[in-house]
C-alpha cells in the first residue's frame, strides 16, 4: 500500500466520519488520490464505510503498534529489546535477517502493521490484515552452535502459550513442531531462521504471527483451518499489551533455553501438545506417510513415534504432523 493509505487510516482511527474533501485538504492531494489510496484497504483486511454526504469511517477502530506503549508495558524488560515498527514490509523475518547481517544488536525486534509476503513454515504464506493480528520478529544471539538449538521452535511455542494464558486466552495447545492451536485451528505460527556457524556462535531470527481478529477477506486467503482471539474470547485484545506479553515471555524462555536447551522446557511443552499419546501420521517431503502413536519428544525436540516397525525418531525438517483420524 502507498504511504498515503496509512496516513488516511490513521486519520480515520478516531472512529468518526471524515469527508473526502477534508481528507484531501489535510494531505494536500486531490479527492481522486484519496479514493485511489483507499482501494487496497479491503484486501488488507480493513473495512471502510462510505456514506454520501458524510464521508468515510472505519467499521472498527485500529489500535496501532506503538514503541512507547510497548516499552511501558514491558517495564524492566524494555531494555532487552530494540524496537522498530514499520507500516509495511515484505517479511519481518527477512528485514531482520538483513539487519542481523549488518550487525544488529541482540534483542532487535521488527514489527509491521502489514506484511505483504509474510512467511510460515514449509514455504506457506502468512496472512494478517492491518490491526487484525500481531506480526514481529526478534533477533537473539547464542554463544552455542546450531546443534544446541535443536528444539528452539518448541521452546518458543511454550513462550507463546504462556503469553496467551496471561492474556486470558484459555484452551491454547501446541502441535509439533511450531504451531499454536485452539480447537485444532491455527491461532499463531512460528518461523525460525538461523545465521552463523555450526560450532557457534549463531544468530537466530524468531518470527511470530498471532491472529487477533481476522476479516472475511483475510480468512478467505488462508489455506488451513484458522481461528483468532476475538472468536475465542468475544473481545478484541489490546495489540500493544499482547505483543508486550509475547516479548516478555519470549525473553524468559530464551534465557532459560540458553542455559539448558529444550530439556528444561520439555515437560511444559508436552502438557500442551494436542497429539500427545494419540495416533498420528507424518507427511514426509517425498509424499510418503508414516503412521504411529506419538510417544514423546526428546530433549532435543525430536518426535518419538511408535510405529508398526518399532520406535522411530523424527526431526522437524519438512515433516508435517496430522491426526490419524
- Cell 510497548 belongs to residue: 70
Could you tell me how many residues make up the chain?
A: 325
Burial class (CB in 10 A: 0-12, 13-18, 19+), 319: middle
If we measure between CA atoms, which residue out of 249, 146, 248 comes closest to residue 200? 146
Cα angle value 182/179/146 (rounded, 5°): 155
If we measure between CA atoms, which residue out of 283, 285, 280 comes closest to residue 295? 280
- Active centre residues (catalytic): 121, 186, 322
Tell how far CA 313 is from the center of its chain: 28
Cα angle value 139/142/147 (rounded, 5°): 115
The DSSP 8-state label assigned to residue 265 in this structure reads G
Determine the angle formed by the axes of helices 239-260 and 152-166, rounding to 10 degrees: 140
Distance CA 16, CA 20 (A): 13
Alpha-carbon separation of residue 248 from 30, 195, 209, 286 (angstroms): 45, 23, 16, 39
Amino acid at each position: 500500500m502507498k504511504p498515503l493509505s496509512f496516513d488516511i487510516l490513521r486519520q480515520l482511527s478516531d472512529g468518526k466520519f471524515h469527508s473526502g474533501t477534508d481528507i484531501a485538504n489535510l494531505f494536500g492531494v486531490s479527492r481522486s488520490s484519496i479514493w485511489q489510496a483507499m482501494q487496497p484497504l479491503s484486501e488488507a483486511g480493513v473495512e471502510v464505510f462510505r456514506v454520501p454526504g458524510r464521508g468515510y469511517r472505519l467499521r472498527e477502530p485500529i489500535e496501532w503498534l506503538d514503541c512507547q506503549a510497548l516499552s511501558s508495558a514491558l517495564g524492566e524488560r524494555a531494555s532487552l529489546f530494540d524496537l522498530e515498527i514499520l507500516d509495511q514490509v515484505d517479511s519481518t523475518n527477512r528485514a531482520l535477517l538483513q539487519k542481523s547481517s549488518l550487525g544488529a544488536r541482540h534483542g532487535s525486534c521488527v514489527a509491521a502493521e502489514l506484511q505483504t509476503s509474510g512467511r510460515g513454515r514449509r514455504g506457506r504464506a502468512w496472512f494478517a490484515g492491518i490491526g487484525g493480528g500481531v506480526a514481529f520478529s526478534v533477533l537473539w544471539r547464542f554463544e552455542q552452535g546450531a546443534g544446541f538449538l535443536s528444539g528452539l521452535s518448541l521452546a518458543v511455542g511454550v513462550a507463546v502459550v504462556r503469553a496467551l494464558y496471561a492474556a486470558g486466552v484459555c484452551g491454547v495447545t501446541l502441535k509439533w513442531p511450531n504451531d499454536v492451536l485452539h480447537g485444532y485451528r491455527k491461532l499463531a505460527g512460528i518461523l525460525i531462521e538461523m545465521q552463523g556457524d555450526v560450532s557457534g556462535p549463531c544468530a537466530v531470527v524468531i518470527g511470530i504471527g498471532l491472529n487477533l481478529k481476522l476479516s472475511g477477506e483475510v480468512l478467505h486467503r488462508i489455506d488451513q483451518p484458522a481461528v483468532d482471539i476475538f472468536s475465542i474470547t468475544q473481545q478484541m485484545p489490546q495489540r500493544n499489551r499482547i505483543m508486550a506479553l509475547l516479548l516478555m515471555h519470549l525473553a524468559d524462555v530464551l534465557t532459560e533455553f540458553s542455559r539448558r536447551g529444550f530439556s528444561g522446557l520439555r515437560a511444559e511443552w508436552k502438557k500442551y501438545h494436542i497429539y500427545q499419546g494419540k495416533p498420528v501420521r507424518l507427511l514426509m517431503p517425498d509424499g510418503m506417510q508414516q503412521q504411529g502413536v506419538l510417544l514423546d519428544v526428546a530433549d532435543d525436540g525430536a518426535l518419538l513415534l511408535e510405529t508398526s516397525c518399532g520406535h522411530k525418531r523424527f526431526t522437524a525438517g519438512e515433516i508435517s504432523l496430522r491426526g490419524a483420524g
